[in-house]
Structure 1
Amino acid sequence: MRNGLVRRTGLSAAGALVPLGAAAAPVFGWAAVPGAVAMAGALAALAMRPARRDATWIAAAVAGGVSLAATAAAWSSPGARFQEGEGPENLLGLVEVAALTVLVAVVVRVAAFRGALVGAGLAGLAVPCWILRFGVPGAAGLAALAAWALPPVLAVTTGLYLRSLDDRRRRSVASARRRQRLELASDLHDFVAHDVSEMLAQARAGQILAERDPSAAARTFTIIEEAALRAMAAMDRTVGMLRADAGSEEGGPALAPAPSLSDLPDLAARFTASGNAPVHLDLDPDLDVPREVGTTAYRIVVEALTNVRRHAPGAGRVDVSVRGSAGDVRSLRVLVTDDARGGAAGPPARRGGAGLPGLRERVEMLGGTLTAGPRDPYGWQVAAVLPLGDRTRRARRR
């Protein structure tokens, strides 16, 4: 709304300057016309950027062309040349030069290469040529041209510098969006894959129980339904994050917070109830960790349990330990182990998708480490160490 008002106001002022300059020509001289056109072009270019970048070079080309035409007319007609002194035409000429210089900087900053070459070229050439309206001959004229070429050169340099800053900002935004998409893809893998694998396990169990215990088979449908609802909620949350900006503008509902350490007991209970190996959770109740650390720890446990369900159906027990360490460097230690046999063949059998590599990268970004591999005498373990700040244990500081 505000940008549109500024744009309309600037364009209206630019449109009014041209007839005003023509009306002022009988009083202040013919220099009022190119001066008004240059000021109108500068206002229009400033008002249209960055929404209509291509239109800025047109404004600069028109203003530069009118200025060059006025200079050519003054050069060819000795009676129309400027006189040295403090006349109104000299002041209007300086205003015209300033407006053309601004046009050069704006066009170089926002316009495409070809448009910038045309618009900035005409406007920049008009600046030093303005001095020719005085009819300065010989070496003095060449020296004056060289001196007045400095403003457009500085304008080009400024425009290029600002353009580089704009390009750097756009690349930074694009990189941040790519990182966000990768993080959202990791969310889908961590949470949805866990729920889908639970549905698959329950569906297989239901097929077996259908012949032996129909009532127990019917209960599996309830578990499958709950897992499907959780998967749908995770996908809705991810899509909501993608549309967060639009949702905030439209007053949409607030997004549910990402799971953290407080959700681990429920996760362990669901995994145990699904008919897989029972989960024995050892969670330090006094932990107070940053949100990103807690969410990462939860994802590590989810990924480890998902891999147990997919790659270790024979596991009889899963131990999950999440405890804080108060050594020289405070840290959160996450350890997930199972007792599935066949540990020697573990690495090839449990080589999955991008779950653990993505989590390892996330953990390393937080300054921690994550390892996964077989354990003695058999089984598998996933271990992570996440550094903490000074908020590790509130209870111990009281």
Structure 2
Amino acid sequence: MRYIIGNGIIYDGNIFYPQGSILIDQSEIEQVGPCEKISAEGIEFIDVQGRLIIPGLLNPHFHFYSSLSPGLSPLKSPKNFTEVLKYFWWPLDQSLDEESIYYSTLLGAMESVKYGVTMIFDHHASMNYISGSLNIIKQACQLMGIKALLCYEISNRLNHLCLDQQIEENLNFHQQNKDSGWCKGILGLHANFTLDSFNLEQIKSDFPENIPIHIHCGEDRCDLQYCIEQGFKGPVDRLNHYNLLSPGSILAHCVHLSDRDVSLIKHFNPVVVSNPESNFNNGVGEFNPEIIKRYLVGTDSMSADMIATHRFHYLTANNSSLPQMGNLIFSHRNSIQQKYFPNTGLLEPGYKADLAVLDYIPCQQVDLDNVISHLLFGAKTGSTYLTVSDGKIIYAQHNFTNINEQEIYSQAMKVGEKLKQRFLKCQV
């Protein structure tokens, strides 16, 4: 299938065409340039009428399993961050079964696609349904047509029960999908404070050294304090002791770090992901972009809207600037994205045709100096007119092209009610 998406403002952090078109052939971009130079007789032309065309967005820290949680309340009133986990999130993930994992993923993926997200780095937990859980998520992502980097977040919060099962789920999924072009697996860890030295020694011995990790790192002060009590300088220092750091590792939050932790981050250059809305919601503190300058922004499943999340970060981060926001949305993500999924993240010939046409028509001229301002303050919520993944239009003018949205929501309501009943029976 060949078609043209044109008469739009094209920007990917490198190229800029104020009136441009993109010729797509099968799953790849064949040509990109000014409208007058991109034409082919007999090929469908989709006129986006001056809307912004950007690469499909990446959400680098997400939890599909939380998608059925809105409307549920903690089983007891939490007084701190660890009690939020004990009284809400851990009972929730222990209540998940096969169908609730599947429909949680579908709902999270659907919401993401509506906001132009075509790639998600997910961090999963389902303590009573471990083996095969990542394949269930993969199936739902395949149905939606998005790319995914998946892992199971290992923890010993059940006192070493099923630790081997959690490790095996990560390892098996990684090995089965290492050659996939759209879905891969890495090593998921919950957080330092839910993994003791025995756990980390076992993980270190069972996993090849070159497999990156995805972990909540220094999200709350309790994580930093735990590592200090174990004789380390901080959470990153402890991970380094067990040889678990690499350039592709994903360290989510990084709010509470020591000077030693920051030095190690600069040395190993892992992917640091700030989750500003989640940090505010949990009252854990604020990420400091002054000490860690190269990072990405994720949602931690507070929403699926990456444009709105970047806007929130811009409004709340100290000394944030519009050029810096452009780096976060575009250039900073490209190196990590292409590590796992080559030829993605740019609107160039030969790259995967993953793109979002935002449902926003600027009334002021757009140029390189103000394009980020248009993104954050014009597009605002980031809802899309079109979402394209691997050359397939999967969302067009507020309708999915590959699924029946109403049927999925109808079934998800039934699944959600059963999940709620299991959740309410959990002992805390």
Query: Same fold judged by TM-score > 0.5?
Result: no
Name the structure, 1 or 2, with higher relative contact order (CA <8 Å, separation 6+): 2
TM-score scaled by length of structure 2 = 0.21
User: Which one has a larger percent helix, Structure 1 or Structure 2?
Assistant: 1
Q: TM-score, normalised on structure 1?
A: 0.22
Q: Which has the higher strand share?
A: 2
